[in-house]
Amino acid sequence: MEKQLGFQIFERDNRKVLVTPLGQQVLERAQSIALQMEDLKKLADLQREPLSTPLCLGVIPTIGPYLLPRVLPALRDQYPNLQLDFLEDQSAEILDQLRRGALDAAIIALPYDCDGLLTFPFWQEDLWWIIHAEDENAGVQIATIDDLARAHLMLLKDGHCLTEHALAACKLENVSAHSFSATSLSTLIQLVAGKIGSTLVPEIALEQLVNARARLVRIRLEEPGPHRQLAIAIRPNYPCMANVEALVKLFREELEKSTAI
Protein backbone atom coordinates (compact mmCIF):
# COMPACT_ATOMS: atom_id res chain seq x y z
CA MET A 1 0.00 0.00 0.00
CA GLU A 2 2.83 2.39 0.82
CA LYS A 3 4.40 1.70 -2.61
CA GLN A 4 1.09 2.42 -4.33
CA LEU A 5 0.48 5.64 -2.36
CA GLY A 6 4.07 6.82 -2.56
CA PHE A 7 4.49 7.72 1.12
CA GLN A 8 5.03 6.02 4.49
CA ILE A 9 2.07 5.00 6.58
CA PHE A 10 4.13 3.50 9.42
CA GLU A 11 7.44 4.23 11.08
CA ARG A 12 9.11 0.97 12.04
CA ASP A 13 12.06 -0.11 14.15
CA ASN A 14 12.94 -3.24 16.10
CA ARG A 15 10.83 -2.23 19.10
CA LYS A 16 7.70 -0.51 17.88
CA VAL A 17 5.56 0.61 14.96
CA LEU A 18 4.21 4.18 14.85
CA VAL A 19 1.64 5.71 12.52
CA THR A 20 2.84 8.73 10.53
CA PRO A 21 0.65 11.86 10.30
CA LEU A 22 -0.24 10.99 6.69
CA GLY A 23 -0.76 7.39 7.73
CA GLN A 24 -3.28 8.53 10.36
CA GLN A 25 -5.31 10.24 7.63
CA VAL A 26 -5.18 7.06 5.55
CA LEU A 27 -6.44 4.96 8.47
CA GLU A 28 -9.25 7.41 9.22
CA ARG A 29 -10.40 7.38 5.60
CA ALA A 30 -10.08 3.60 5.43
CA GLN A 31 -12.32 3.31 8.49
CA SER A 32 -14.87 5.61 6.86
CA ILE A 33 -14.79 3.54 3.66
CA ALA A 34 -15.24 0.32 5.63
CA LEU A 35 -18.26 1.85 7.38
CA GLN A 36 -19.78 2.90 4.05
CA MET A 37 -19.22 -0.61 2.69
CA GLU A 38 -21.03 -2.06 5.70
CA ASP A 39 -23.96 0.28 5.09
CA LEU A 40 -24.01 -0.76 1.42
CA LYS A 41 -24.33 -4.39 2.46
CA LYS A 42 -27.37 -3.43 4.50
CA LEU A 43 -29.14 -2.08 1.42
CA ALA A 44 -30.45 -5.59 0.86
CA ASP A 45 -32.38 -5.19 4.11
CA LEU A 46 -34.51 -2.53 2.40
CA GLN A 47 -36.22 -5.30 0.47
CA ARG A 48 -37.40 -6.94 3.70
CA GLU A 49 -40.05 -6.07 6.26
CA PRO A 50 -39.06 -3.47 8.88
CA LEU A 51 -37.33 -4.88 11.96
CA SER A 52 -36.91 -8.32 10.43
CA THR A 53 -33.09 -8.30 10.40
CA PRO A 54 -30.50 -8.11 13.24
CA LEU A 55 -30.38 -4.73 14.96
CA CYS A 56 -27.84 -3.51 17.51
CA LEU A 57 -29.10 -0.66 19.70
CA GLY A 58 -27.23 1.45 22.21
CA VAL A 59 -29.17 2.84 25.16
CA ILE A 60 -28.21 5.06 28.10
CA PRO A 61 -28.74 3.92 31.73
CA THR A 62 -31.31 6.59 32.57
CA ILE A 63 -33.58 5.33 29.78
CA GLY A 64 -32.93 1.61 29.27
CA PRO A 65 -34.31 0.11 32.51
CA TYR A 66 -37.50 2.16 32.27
CA LEU A 67 -38.20 2.12 28.52
CA LEU A 68 -37.29 -1.45 27.58
CA PRO A 69 -39.74 -3.29 29.88
CA ARG A 70 -42.55 -1.25 28.32
CA VAL A 71 -41.64 -1.75 24.67
CA LEU A 72 -40.00 -5.19 24.42
CA PRO A 73 -43.24 -7.22 24.73
CA ALA A 74 -44.77 -5.25 21.84
CA LEU A 75 -41.56 -5.60 19.80
CA ARG A 76 -41.63 -9.37 20.25
CA ASP A 77 -45.31 -9.59 19.33
CA GLN A 78 -45.23 -7.29 16.30
CA TYR A 79 -41.77 -8.20 14.97
CA PRO A 80 -41.11 -11.86 15.89
CA ASN A 81 -38.18 -12.15 13.44
CA LEU A 82 -36.26 -9.27 14.96
CA GLN A 83 -32.90 -10.20 16.47
CA LEU A 84 -32.17 -7.39 18.89
CA ASP A 85 -28.91 -6.73 20.74
CA PHE A 86 -28.40 -3.97 23.30
CA LEU A 87 -25.38 -2.09 24.63
CA GLU A 88 -25.92 0.10 27.69
CA ASP A 89 -23.43 2.89 28.36
CA GLN A 90 -23.19 6.63 28.84
CA SER A 91 -24.14 8.96 25.99
CA ALA A 92 -20.60 9.82 24.85
CA GLU A 93 -19.56 6.18 24.50
CA ILE A 94 -22.83 5.13 22.87
CA LEU A 95 -22.62 7.87 20.24
CA ASP A 96 -18.93 7.19 19.61
CA GLN A 97 -19.74 3.55 18.88
CA LEU A 98 -22.62 4.63 16.66
CA ARG A 99 -20.35 6.90 14.62
CA ARG A 100 -17.81 4.07 14.26
CA GLY A 101 -20.46 1.67 12.99
CA ALA A 102 -20.45 -0.68 16.00
CA LEU A 103 -24.13 0.19 16.59
CA ASP A 104 -27.03 0.58 14.18
CA ALA A 105 -28.83 3.17 16.31
CA ALA A 106 -28.83 4.67 19.80
CA ILE A 107 -31.54 5.66 22.26
CA ILE A 108 -30.46 8.88 23.95
CA ALA A 109 -31.80 11.92 25.79
CA LEU A 110 -31.76 15.39 24.28
CA PRO A 111 -30.44 18.03 24.48
CA TYR A 112 -27.05 16.48 23.79
CA ASP A 113 -24.30 17.10 21.25
CA CYS A 114 -25.12 14.75 18.36
CA ASP A 115 -22.90 16.38 15.77
CA GLY A 116 -22.86 14.44 12.51
CA LEU A 117 -25.88 12.30 13.46
CA LEU A 118 -29.61 12.43 12.82
CA THR A 119 -32.03 12.31 15.77
CA PHE A 120 -35.69 11.30 15.84
CA PRO A 121 -37.48 12.24 19.11
CA PHE A 122 -40.26 9.91 20.23
CA TRP A 123 -41.06 11.19 23.74
CA GLN A 124 -40.63 14.24 25.94
CA GLU A 125 -40.86 14.43 29.69
CA ASP A 126 -40.25 16.43 32.84
CA LEU A 127 -37.96 15.81 35.78
CA TRP A 128 -39.47 15.46 39.26
CA TRP A 129 -37.93 16.33 42.62
CA ILE A 130 -37.94 13.29 44.93
CA ILE A 131 -37.73 13.81 48.70
CA HIS A 132 -38.49 11.78 51.83
CA ALA A 133 -41.95 12.12 53.36
CA GLU A 134 -40.37 13.50 56.55
CA ASP A 135 -38.46 16.20 54.68
CA GLU A 136 -39.42 19.76 55.64
CA ASN A 137 -40.48 20.38 52.02
CA ALA A 138 -42.87 17.41 51.89
CA GLY A 139 -45.91 19.70 51.76
CA VAL A 140 -44.62 21.76 48.85
CA GLN A 141 -46.71 21.53 45.67
CA ILE A 142 -44.21 23.11 43.26
CA ALA A 143 -40.43 23.08 43.80
CA THR A 144 -38.87 26.48 43.15
CA ILE A 145 -35.28 27.16 42.15
CA ASP A 146 -34.63 28.42 45.70
CA ASP A 147 -36.01 25.18 47.20
CA LEU A 148 -33.60 23.12 45.09
CA ALA A 149 -30.64 25.42 45.71
CA ARG A 150 -31.06 24.98 49.49
CA ALA A 151 -31.63 21.23 49.29
CA HIS A 152 -29.05 18.47 49.63
CA LEU A 153 -29.53 17.52 46.00
CA MET A 154 -27.82 14.31 44.88
CA LEU A 155 -27.23 13.74 41.17
CA LEU A 156 -25.40 11.13 39.14
CA LYS A 157 -21.67 11.43 38.70
CA ASP A 158 -20.19 13.37 35.79
CA GLY A 159 -20.69 11.77 32.40
CA HIS A 160 -24.40 11.11 32.77
CA CYS A 161 -26.35 13.52 30.60
CA LEU A 162 -29.23 13.46 33.11
CA THR A 163 -27.03 15.47 35.48
CA GLU A 164 -26.70 18.25 32.88
CA HIS A 165 -30.45 18.13 32.18
CA ALA A 166 -31.17 18.33 35.91
CA LEU A 167 -28.88 21.30 36.48
CA ALA A 168 -30.42 23.08 33.49
CA ALA A 169 -33.95 22.40 34.73
CA CYS A 170 -33.06 23.74 38.18
CA LYS A 171 -30.95 26.61 36.80
CA LEU A 172 -28.02 25.43 38.92
CA GLU A 173 -24.48 25.94 37.67
CA ASN A 174 -22.17 24.10 40.08
CA VAL A 175 -21.99 20.44 39.07
CA SER A 176 -19.58 19.41 41.83
CA ALA A 177 -21.80 20.79 44.56
CA HIS A 178 -24.72 18.66 43.36
CA SER A 179 -23.14 15.35 42.41
CA PHE A 180 -22.72 11.98 44.02
CA SER A 181 -20.54 9.04 43.06
CA ALA A 182 -23.49 6.92 41.97
CA THR A 183 -23.96 5.40 38.57
CA SER A 184 -27.66 4.61 38.82
CA LEU A 185 -30.90 6.29 39.74
CA SER A 186 -31.77 3.26 41.89
CA THR A 187 -28.85 4.04 44.20
CA LEU A 188 -29.92 7.67 44.53
CA ILE A 189 -33.48 6.62 45.37
CA GLN A 190 -32.18 4.31 48.11
CA LEU A 191 -30.29 7.25 49.58
CA VAL A 192 -33.40 9.43 49.52
CA ALA A 193 -35.32 6.63 51.26
CA GLY A 194 -32.56 6.63 53.88
CA LYS A 195 -33.03 10.39 54.45
CA ILE A 196 -29.59 11.25 53.07
CA GLY A 197 -30.86 13.89 50.66
CA SER A 198 -33.06 14.44 47.61
CA THR A 199 -32.71 13.80 43.91
CA LEU A 200 -34.30 14.37 40.51
CA VAL A 201 -35.92 11.57 38.53
CA PRO A 202 -37.20 11.58 34.94
CA GLU A 203 -40.89 10.93 34.48
CA ILE A 204 -40.34 7.61 32.73
CA ALA A 205 -38.67 6.20 35.86
CA LEU A 206 -41.30 7.24 38.41
CA GLU A 207 -43.36 4.08 38.17
CA GLN A 208 -40.42 1.78 38.89
CA LEU A 209 -38.49 3.89 41.36
CA VAL A 210 -40.95 6.07 43.26
CA ASN A 211 -44.63 5.15 42.99
CA ALA A 212 -44.41 1.98 45.09
CA ARG A 213 -42.45 3.66 47.91
CA ALA A 214 -44.88 5.19 50.40
CA ARG A 215 -42.16 7.20 52.17
CA LEU A 216 -41.10 9.07 49.06
CA VAL A 217 -42.74 12.25 47.79
CA ARG A 218 -42.50 13.55 44.24
CA ILE A 219 -42.82 17.26 43.52
CA ARG A 220 -43.15 18.97 40.16
CA LEU A 221 -40.55 21.58 39.24
CA GLU A 222 -41.44 25.23 38.79
CA GLU A 223 -39.24 25.46 35.68
CA PRO A 224 -41.53 24.64 32.71
CA GLY A 225 -40.77 21.50 30.71
CA PRO A 226 -40.25 19.35 28.89
CA HIS A 227 -36.86 18.99 30.54
CA ARG A 228 -35.58 16.32 28.16
CA GLN A 229 -36.53 14.44 24.98
CA LEU A 230 -36.02 10.76 24.30
CA ALA A 231 -34.78 10.13 20.78
CA ILE A 232 -33.28 7.60 18.40
CA ALA A 233 -29.97 8.64 16.83
CA ILE A 234 -28.56 7.19 13.59
CA ARG A 235 -25.79 7.94 11.10
CA PRO A 236 -26.94 10.11 8.18
CA ASN A 237 -26.25 7.31 5.67
CA TYR A 238 -27.96 4.55 7.67
CA PRO A 239 -29.90 2.68 4.96
CA CYS A 240 -32.74 1.14 7.00
CA MET A 241 -34.94 4.15 7.73
CA ALA A 242 -37.96 1.84 7.90
CA ASN A 243 -36.48 0.37 11.09
CA VAL A 244 -36.20 3.82 12.67
CA GLU A 245 -39.74 4.78 11.68
CA ALA A 246 -41.11 1.51 13.09
CA LEU A 247 -39.24 1.95 16.39
CA VAL A 248 -40.33 5.57 16.81
CA LYS A 249 -43.97 4.63 16.19
CA LEU A 250 -43.91 1.64 18.54
CA PHE A 251 -42.05 3.45 21.33
CA ARG A 252 -44.46 6.36 21.20
CA GLU A 253 -47.54 4.14 21.22
CA GLU A 254 -46.35 2.00 24.13
CA LEU A 255 -45.35 5.00 26.23
CA GLU A 256 -48.69 6.63 25.62
CA LYS A 257 -50.36 3.46 26.94
CA SER A 258 -48.32 3.41 30.13
CA THR A 259 -47.34 6.93 31.14
CA ALA A 260 -45.72 7.16 34.54
CA ILE A 261 -47.91 9.95 35.84
Q: What is the pLDDT along the chain (261 residues), one digit of tens a residue?
A: 788 878 788 888 887 888 888 888 888 888 877 777 776 666 655 556 788 888 999 999 999 999 999 999 999 999 998 999 999 999 999 999 999 889 999 999 999 999 999 999 999 999 999 999 999 999 899 999 899 888 888 998 877 899 889 888 888 776 555 656 678 999 999 999 999 999 999 999 999 999 888 899 999 999 998 999 999 999 998 888 889 999 999 999 999 987 644
pTM above threshold 0.85: no
Listed in sequence order, the DSSP H helices in the chain are 2-5, 21-41, 64-78, 91-100, 145-150, 161-170, 185-193, 206-209, 241-257
Give the residue from 56, 112, 108, 66 showing the smallest Cα distance to 86: 56
**Residue 174, pLDDT score:** 61
Q: Could you tell me the domains of the chain?
A: 2-37 (no CATH), 48-124+229-257 (3.40.190.10), 127-221 (3.40.190.10)
The answer to whether 120 touches 231, Cβ cutoff 8 Å, is yes
